[in-house]
C-alpha cells in the first residue's frame, strides 16, 4: 500500500499523510482520519524512501570504550530507550582494541549517512585535534565536560571530594590514590582534583601519593601493591573506579591489612560486585542510565530542528554516596 492510497482512503491529500508521518501540523479531523486508516490497514512507511529524501538513515551510532562494563551498558540502555521510542535504531561501536579510532568511527558513520552519534569513549586528544568539531553529523559526548561540545557529564569533582571528606571523617589522615590516566579528563583529572581539594581544605597541603592504573581490577591490584611498597603507613585509599577499588582491596587483604580497621577504601561507580565483596565497598553512584537518556534527548532535539543550533547543550548530573563497610 502506498502513501497515495492511504490518502484516498482517509479522504485527505497525500501531503497531509506526509505531515502525519513526519510529525507536522494537522487539524484534529484529518489526523484522526489518517490515524484510523493506518491502524486498520497496518500501513508501514517505506523507510528507504524516507532516507533517500532526507539523506540520513534513522540510525544513531554509540561509541563506547568497552562492552563489558556496567556504566557502558547503563548509558546505552538509557540512550536506546529514548531513541527507539523516536524510531531510531542504535548501532554500537567498541573502541576497546582501538582506543584512538574515534575519528575513524565517526567518518564511517558519516559515510553511511547515520543521523547522529553519541560518544562515550571521548578523550581530550579528540578535542584538540578537532575530531568533534569537524564531524558533519550531530554529536553528543557523555561522561566528559568539553567546552564546545554537546555533552552530558557527572559532577566527578564534588563526588570525589565528598568521598575524601568521608575518609577524613573516619579519622584517615594518610590517604593514597589509585587513579586513571590523565587522558581521561573526568576520571583521571577531575576526580583526583576533588581529592586534593578536600585534603587542602582539611589542612593537608602535600598532594596525596598516587599510582596510575587502567580501568581493570588487575591493574588496581598492582597499583595498590606499589602504593604499599612506597607508603606502607597509608590508612585511607581513594580509587577512581570500582574495578580499581576491588583490586586494591585484594592487595590490602593479601598484605595482612584489615578493612576498615586498618585501612578504609572508597571508589566510584556502585558496581554490583561492591555489594557482594567483603567488606562491601563504599562508592559514589553516578546516574548513568539518565546520562544516556539525556544524551539521546539532546541529539533528537537537534535532529528535529534540522540543523545544529549556534549554541551547545550541556547537562551536569549529580551523584549519591553509598557508604558501606569499607570505611
Lowest average pLDDT, out of 15-29, 108-122, 230-244, 283-297, goes to: 15-29
**Can you name the CATH fold of 56-154+288-320?**
Rossmann fold (3.40.50)
The Cα diameter of the chain in Å comes to 83
Q: Mean pLDDT, to the nearest integer, of 47-64?
A: 70
Query: How many other C-beta atoms lie within 10 A of the C-beta of residue 68?
Result: 8
Q: Mean pLDDT, to the nearest integer, of 5-34?
A: 85
Contact criterion met (CB below 8 Å) for 252 and 259: yes
Same fold: 56-154+288-320 with 156-285: yes
Confidence tier at 306 by pLDDT (50, 70, 90): low
Give the DSSP letter string of 208-238.
PPEEE--SSHHHHHHHHHHHHHH-TT--EEE
Select from 276, 242, 266 the least CA-distant residue to 323: 266
Residue 273, pLDDT score: 81
As a whole number of angstroms, the distance between CA 277 and CA 45 comes to: 52
Secondary structure E strands in the chain = 57-64, 89-94, 114-119, 139-142, 151-154, 175-179, 210-212, 236-239, 264-268, 282-286, 314-317, 319-322
As a whole number of angstroms, the distance between CA 21 and CA 189 comes to: 47
For domain 156-285, the CATH superfamily is Response regulator (3.40.50.2300)
Cell numbers standing for residue 208: 596525596
Contact criterion met (CB below 8 Å) for 199 and 233: no
Residue 178 has pLDDT above 50, yes or no: yes
The residues pairing with 263 across neighbouring beta strands, listed in sequence order, are none
Contact criterion met (CB below 8 Å) for 33 and 60: no
Confidence tier at 250 by pLDDT (50, 70, 90): very high
Residue 48 has pLDDT above 70, yes or no: no
How far is the CA of 107 from the CAs of 31, 58, 110, in angstroms? Answer: 40, 17, 5
Give domain limits for the chain: 3-45, 56-154+288-320, 156-285
Residue 52, pLDDT score: 46
How far is the CA of 93 from the CAs of 88, 120, 223, in angstroms? Answer: 16, 10, 30
For residues 227 and 20, the model is more confident at 227
Residue 99, pLDDT score: 63
Taking only the tens place, the pLDDT of each residue in 136-157 is 899 999 999 998 899 999 999 9
Residue 274 has pLDDT above 90, yes or no: no
Residue 321, pLDDT score: 97
Q: Look at phi and psi of residue 261 and say left if phi exceeds 0, alpha if psi is from -120 to 50, else beta.
A: alpha
Residue 63 has pLDDT above 50, yes or no: yes
Q: Mean pLDDT, to the nearest integer, of 46-60?
A: 62
Q: Cα–Cα–Cα angle for 135, 77, 109, nearest 5°?
A: 25
**pTM here?**
0.81
Percentage of residues in the chain having pLDDT higher than 70: 93
Confidence tier at 276 by pLDDT (50, 70, 90): confident
Taking only the tens place, the pLDDT of each residue in 217-245 is 999 999 999 999 999 999 999 999 999 99
| Residues across the chain | 327
Amino acid at each position: 500500500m502506498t502513501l497515495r492510497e492511504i490518502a484516498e482512503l482517509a479522504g485527505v491529500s497525500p501531503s497531509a499523510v506526509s505531515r502525519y508521518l513526519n510529525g507536522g501540523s494537522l487539524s484534529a479531523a484529518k489526523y484522526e482520519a489518517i490515524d484510523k486508516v493506518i491502524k486498520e490497514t497496518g500501513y508501514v512507511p517505506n523507510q528507504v524512501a524516507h532516507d533517500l529524501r532526507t539523506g540520513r538513515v534513522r540510525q544513531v551510532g554509540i561509541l563506547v570504550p568497552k562492552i563489558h562494563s556496567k556504566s557502558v551498558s547503563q548509558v546505552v540502555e538509557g540512550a536506546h530507550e529514548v531513541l527507539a521510542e523516536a524510531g531510531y535504531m542504535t548501532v554500537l561501536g567498541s573502541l576497546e582494541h582501538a582506543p584512538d579510532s574515534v575519528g575513524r568511527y565517526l567518518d564511517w558513520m558519516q559515510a553511511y549517512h547515520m543521523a547522529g552519534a553519541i560518544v562515550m569513549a571521548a578523550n581530550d586528544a579528540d578535542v584538540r585535534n578537532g575530531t568533534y568539531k569537524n564531524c558533519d553529523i550531530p554529536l553528543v559526548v557523555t561522561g566528559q565536560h568539553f567546552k564546545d561540545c554537546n555533552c552530558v557529564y557527572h559532577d566527578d569533582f564534588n563526588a570525589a571530594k565528598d568521598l575524601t571528606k568521608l575518609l577524613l571523617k573516619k579519622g584517615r589522615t594518610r590517604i593514597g590514590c589509585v587513579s586513571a590516566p590523565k587522558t581521561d579528563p573526568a576520571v583521571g583529572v577531575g576526580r583526583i582534583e576533588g581529592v586534593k581539594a578536600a585534603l587542602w581544605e582539611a589542612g593537608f597541603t602535600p598532594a596525596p601519593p598516587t599510582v596510575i592504573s587502567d580501568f581493570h581490577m588487575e591493574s588496581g591490584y598492582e597499583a595498590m601493591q606499589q602504593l604499599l611498597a612506597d607508603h606502607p603507613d597509608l590508612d585511607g585509599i581513594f580509587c577512581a573506579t570500582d574495578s580499581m577499588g576491588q583490586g586494591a582491596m585484594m592487595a590490602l587483604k593479601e598484605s595482612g591489612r584489615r578493612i576498615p580497621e586498618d585501612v578504609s577504601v572508597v571508589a566510584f561507580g556502585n558496581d554490583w560486585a561492591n555489594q557482594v565483596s567483603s567488606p562491601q565497598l563504599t562508592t559514589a553512584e553516578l546516574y548513568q542510565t539518565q546520562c544516556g537518556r539525556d544524551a539521546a534527548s539532546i541529539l533528537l532535539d537537534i535532529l528535529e530542528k534540522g540543523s545544529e543550533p549556534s549554541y551547545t547543550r550541556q547537562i551536569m548530573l549529580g551523584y549519591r554516596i553509598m557508604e558501606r563497610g569499607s570505611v
